[in-house]
Every structure is written in C-alpha cells, then in structure tokens.
C-alpha cells in the first residue's frame, strides 16, 4: 500500500508528568475519564492527575512505587496524544512501539478505549503477579547484530535482544546479572550502555509465565474490525481483521520489537511524515533510521532538511529568529522544568530515548558527547532558550551534566522554570582484560589460542571473541586491523610465508581462520 503519514504511539518512556496540563478538550478529557473508570474496576486509583498536574511523580518514581499506574498512564498518554495529533494530520498507518501496540490497536478501532485500558490493566496485573523481580533492560549503542553477539556470549537463555530501535541502538532484556555483563562487554567495545528505567524485562523469555496469565485474563475482551491500517513491529507487517490481535499482544511480551525495520519498510512504501503521538524520543529514532523525512511530535511540526526545532511537547515552539533573542525570553513550555526541556532537546537531536538522558549523567563519560558535539549542542540550547551572547560564556561548555547546565541557564535567564535533578543513571564501567604475552598453554585448541590472542591485542574480554563472530560486522575489525592481526597470528603460530596466502585475510571468522591454520600447519593443533 502507498503511505505518506505514519502515526507513532510510544510505549515505555511515553509518560511525562502533566503532559495534558492546560488541555481541556473533550476528546482528551474522555480518554482521561475512561482510564480513571477502568482503574477503579481493578481497585486502583485513577491516573488522570498524573497527566494533568506538572508536579505529578516522575516515571522513575512510578517504576519504584506504582508500575500499574505507570503502564496505564503510558497508554492514556498515547491515546490522548493521538487525538491531539489528529487535529493537524490524518494518518495512513498507525504504529505502536512496544506496549504502544495496545494504544495503536485502540485508536485504529480494534478495541474500544475502555477495553484498551482493560488490556493494559490485565497486562500489568499479570506482570506484577508472575514476573521475576530481578530483571531489567539496557540500551546499547550497537547494531542489532553485534548486540545479539554479546547476548550469545553471555549464554543465559533468559537474556534476549528485546528491541531494535535504530542502526546503532539496540535494547537487551533479561536477568539483572546477565544484563550487567552485557553492559560491561559493550563498554569494553567502546559502546555506550545505559540501564533503562523499565519496571520489567519486556520482550524477553522471563515474561513467559506472565504472558500466559495475561492471555487467560483477556479472553472475554472483544476484537472489532480495524478502521485504520496498523503496522506491527512485532508481527513484522500490516495487521488484518482476521489477525488474532489478543494473541499478538500476548506474544509481544516475549517477542522482540523490530522498530527500525518497521520504519524502513514504511519509508519504502512511501512514508515521508512520521508523527510521534507524545514525546518519548521515537522521532529521533526515525531520523537515525531513514533519511530526509519529516518528523513531528504532538502539536509540533518539523520539516525535512531544516534545522530541527526543539522538541518540547504539546505546545508548538516558534523557530528561533535570526536576531538573537534577549536573555530570558526564549521558549519554555508551561510547567516544564529547564532540565526536562534540556533532556527532551538532547534526546531529540542525539536520537536517544529520553529516559537515557538523565540530569546527573556525565555528558562525556556516560553519554559519549565529546567536546565538538557539546559545542554543537550548545548552539541549539542557546537558540532554544534565547540565550544570545550569554552562551558564549565559557561556563556553559564547562558544565559536566545537564542538571548543572540547567542550573546555569536558570541563573542566566533569571526566573526560568524550576530545575529538578533526575535520578542518576548507573555508571557502566569496563572490566579490564589482562594483556596476554605469547602463546597460551599447550593442549588448548587453535581457536582458543586465536581468541586469547585477539582479546589480548584488541583489549576485548575473551568471552566476546567467539569463533563464529564475524570479524568485521560483529567485532568491528576492519581490513587494515585484520592485516595487522595476521602478522601477529603468523608470528604466534610460526606460519612464515604461509600467511602471505590471500586465503588468510579472506577468512570471515576465527573458526574459519583456525581451520585454515590447522590445514596449513598441522603441528599447530
């Protein structure tokens, strides 16, 4: 089918305190009232206050204190934001990210708003009752293939690639200990690894029992014909009226989300405008996955090829004027703190989920923002907050965290919105690998010797260097580095002129190289 406009409905990360503050429209009020009514059916308090009061608990607070309310608030935010987005655009296709699939199916007519909320509540109850508590999720700045290789290296069946978001953003879910190992391995490879503020290890085998309980609980909910096209990143295609959508939602708990593939297929079908219903960072993921498309968030327009306007939520943000704006007159959304605006802006430009950008994360050490990128971002910060020449002050570039930068902006602006520090993201440190010196002990296979040699020279943990890992695609060893390594391999195994043979450099994996070494030098066994 031909597609022009795609609406994206967020899952985790889609909740923002006070998202609908100041919006008294009947269509949003109806969603809020419905969510409160369904929460009461389950013996729970309503969630409308979370989305209408800017001083409501943060997502991090709700993860710790009330994940049930958080999940229902995420759904309500997505459906309400869809209704706001529909004021300006008409979608050709609706896509839900993770739990956002329930909201996508609801706005497409497969379920009533009340039943959509019931699906979320049953899902939350199943997770609370049956999900092990020691699980979590980590976002890796790695392609899916390389992230999958790390998961394989850890060898824990409960660990899985959960979400493929963008060319270099993959989320892994599983037991806390295994997730921590993956984070350390990624850090050893020089990749950013950030623990997500997720209440459960979504899209992993750890949720199998919860998924079964969820399926049993929703048998009485009725599925209706779709009134709009829906593309599922879990099913990997368009959904039909004869698709068992409840079964899909059950399967989704343990099945990976292929968001990047969905975006690229829709782009191939002609999609040129992606409208994010909310502000969870999906727009940034789209821009990292496909070129030259319009990305818009709720009640905010962005044109392809233009400098991205700051993403600050439901209120449109005017484009910066050519003449510097006087200090203190830049756009600050009502009820949104300077820190929250900075987090949104950095997430939008860098393509990170907004929950990754915490106030106390070190911009360079934790987020990988080097001095050049920091200077570029300060230009955008200056335009967004109307700082003018104030931003030239060396104090701005010297601030190590967004919380520090927010405090300085508030000081310079003199009366900006209050600054609130976010919970710091746990630091991920690499476990140093001892550097090897010469051949390993006799009796070790050629492959194991190769793994030890490559690990010692490259500084990788040896468990990352598996026999079937593609040297270039999985381990990032380019042709020049491969040639350098072959010199060391030749010296180590005494191959002499044999290593000049072009077959050596052509071997894609260490297992293939080990086989060739054994064939050429039988004594290497």
pLDDT at 401: 85
- In three-state secondary structure terms, 166 is strand
Question: Between residues 501 and 124, which one has the greater pLDDT?
Answer: 124
CB 78 within 8 A of CB 214: no
Q: What is the mean pLDDT of residues 443-465?
A: 82
So what's the pLDDT on residue 346? Answer: 86
Query: Would you place residue 376 in the very low, low, confident or very high pLDDT band (cuts 50, 70, 90)?
Result: low
Which is it for strands 273-276 and 5-9: parallel, antiparallel or unpaired? parallel
**What is the model's pLDDT at position 424?**
38
Number of neighbours of residue 480 by Cβ within 10 angstroms: 8
pLDDT in tens, 14-40: 998 999 998 999 999 999 999 999 999
- Taking the C-alpha atoms of residue 361 and residue 242, their distance in angstroms, rounded to an integer, is 47
- Dihedral over alpha carbons 456, 458, 464, 468 (to 10 degrees): -100
- Residue 273 has which token pair? 């405008």
Contact in structure between 1 and 238 (CB atoms under 8 Å): yes
- Percent with pLDDT over 90 in the chain: 47
Give the residue from 214, 346, 186, 358 showing the smallest Cα distance to 281: 346
For the chain, give the mean pLDDT.
81
Banded pLDDT at 309 (limits 50, 70, 90): very low
Task: Write down the pLDDT at residue 286.
Answer: 92
Task: Enter the DSSP assignment of 103.
Answer: H
**Which of 196-210, 336-350, 381-395: highest mean pLDDT?**
196-210
For residue 116, is pLDDT > 50? yes
Predicted confidence at residue 336, as pLDDT, reads: 59
Cα–Cα distances (Å) from 48 to 28, 67, 344, 357, in that order, read 10, 15, 22, 26
Extended strands (E) in 19-99:
93-96
CB 293 within 8 A of CB 271: yes
CB atoms within 10 A of CB 211: 22
The more confidently predicted of residues 119 and 455 is: 119
How many Å apart are CA 336 and CA 17, to the nearest integer? 9
For β-strands 135-140 and 193-195, DSSP reports them as antiparallel
The confidence score (pLDDT) of residue 83 equals 96
- pTM for this predicted structure: 0.65
Phi, psi of 216 (to 5 degrees): -70, -30
For the cut 90, the answer to whether the pLDDT of residue 51 exceeds it is yes
Please write the tens of the pLDDT for every residue from 460-506: 778 788 888 878 777 777 666 776 777 788 888 888 766 656 677 77
Q: Give percent of the chain with pLDDT exceeding 70.
A: 80
Instruction: Please name each of the domains of the chain with its CATH number.
Output: 5-131+206-297 (3.40.366.10), 135-199 (3.30.70.250), 317-425 (1.10.1200.10), 446-524 (1.10.1200.10)
The residues that bridge with 7 in the sheet, in sequence order, are: 94, 275
**pLDDT at 452 (0 to 100):** 86
User: Cβ contacts of residue 100 below 8 Å, gap of 6+?
Assistant: 8, 9, 10, 11, 14, 74, 78
Which of these ranges, 102-111, 256-265, 294-303, 424-433, has the smallest mean pLDDT?
Answer: 424-433
Q: Per residue in 230-282, pLDDT tens?
A: 999 999 999 999 999 999 999 999 999 999 999 999 999 999 999 999 988 89
Q: Which residues touch 29 (CB under 8 Å, ≥6 apart)?
A: none
How does pLDDT run across 131-173, given as a tens digit for each residue?
Answer: 877 899 999 999 999 999 999 999 899 999 999 999 989 999 9
pLDDT category of residue 515 using cuts at 50, 70 and 90: confident
Using one digit for the tens of pLDDT, what is the confidence trace for 317-331?
222 232 333 333 344
Higher pLDDT, residue 511 or 335: 511
The answer for residues whose C-beta is within 8 angstroms of residue 101's C-beta and 6 or more apart is: 9, 11, 232, 233, 234, 248, 249, 252
pLDDT of residue 370: 62
Give the pLDDT mean for 206-229.
Answer: 97
- pLDDT > 80? residue 174: yes
3-state secondary structure of 112: coil
CA distance 16 to 60: 11
Q: What pLDDT does 522 receive?
A: 67
Are 451 and 467 within 8 A, CB to CB? yes
Lowest mean pLDDT among 129-143, 322-336, 402-416, 442-456: 322-336
Q: What is the mean pLDDT of residues 60-78?
A: 94
């Amino acid at each position: 089918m031909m597609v022009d406009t795609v609406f994206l409905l967020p899952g985790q990360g889609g909740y923002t305190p006070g998202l609908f503050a100041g919006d008294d429209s009947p269509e949003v009020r109806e969603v809020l009232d419905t969510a409160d009514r369904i929460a009461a059916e389950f013996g729970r308090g309503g969630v409308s206050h979370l989305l209408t009061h800017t001083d409501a608990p943060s997502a991090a607070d709700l993860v710790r204190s009330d994940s049930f309310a958080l999940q229902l608030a995420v759904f309500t935010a997505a459906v309400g934001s869809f209704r706001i987005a529909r004021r300006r655009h008409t979608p050709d296709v609706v896509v839900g990210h993770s739990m956002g699939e329930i909201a996508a199916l609801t706005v497409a007519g497969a379920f009533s708003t009340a039943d959509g909320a019931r699906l979320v509540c049953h899902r939350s109850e199943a997770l609370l009752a049956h999900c092990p508590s020691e699980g979590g999720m980590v976002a890796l700045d790695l392609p899916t293939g390389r992230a999958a290789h790390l998961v394989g290296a850890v060898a824990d069946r409960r660990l899985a690639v959960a979400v493929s978001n963008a060319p270099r953003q993959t989320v892994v879910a599983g037991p806390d200990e295994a997730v921590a190992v993956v984070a350390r391995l990624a850090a050893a490879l020089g990749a950013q690894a950030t623990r997500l503020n997720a209440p459960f290890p979504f899209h992993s085998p750890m949720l199998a029992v919860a998924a079964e309980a969820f399926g049993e609980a929703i048998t009485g909910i009725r599925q209706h014909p779709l009134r709009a096209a829906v593309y599922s990143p879990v099913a990997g295609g368009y959904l039909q009226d004869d698709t068992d959508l409840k079964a899909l939602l059950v399967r989704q708990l343990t099945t990976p989300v292929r968001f990047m593939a969905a975006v690229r297929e829709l782009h191939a079908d002609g999609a040129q405008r992606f409208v994010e219903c909310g502000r969870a960072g999906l727009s940034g993921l789209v821009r990292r996955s496909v070129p030259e498309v319009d990305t818009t968030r709720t009640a905010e327009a962005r044109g392809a090829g233009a400098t991205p306007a700051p993403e600050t939520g439901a209120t449109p943000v005017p484009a910066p004027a050519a003449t510097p704006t006087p200090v203190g007159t830049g756009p600050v959304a009502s009820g949104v703190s300077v820190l929250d605006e900075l987090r949104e802006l950095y997430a939008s430009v860098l393509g990170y989920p907004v929950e990754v950008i915490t106030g106390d994360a070190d911009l360079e050490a934790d987020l990988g923002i080097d001095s050049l990128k920091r200077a570029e971002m300060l230009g955008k910060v200056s335009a967004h907050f109307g700082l003018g020449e104030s931003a030239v002050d060396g104090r701005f570039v010297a601030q190590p965290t967004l919380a520090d930068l927010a405090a300085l902006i508030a000081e310079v602006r003199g009366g900006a919105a209050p600054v609130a520090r976010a919970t710091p993201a746990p630091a991920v440190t690499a476990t140093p690998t001892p550097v090897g010196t010469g051949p390993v002990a006799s009796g070790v296979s050629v492959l194991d010797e190769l793994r030890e040699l490559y690990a010692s020279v490259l500084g990788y943990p040896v468990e990352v260097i598996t026999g079937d890992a593609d040297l270039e695609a999985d381990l990032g060893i380019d042709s020049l580095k491969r040639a350098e390594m072959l010199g060391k391999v030749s010296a180590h195994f005494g191959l002499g002129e044999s290593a000049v043979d072009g077959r050596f450099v052509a071997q894609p994996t260490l297992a293939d190289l080990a086989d060739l070494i054994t064939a050429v030098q039988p004594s290497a066994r």
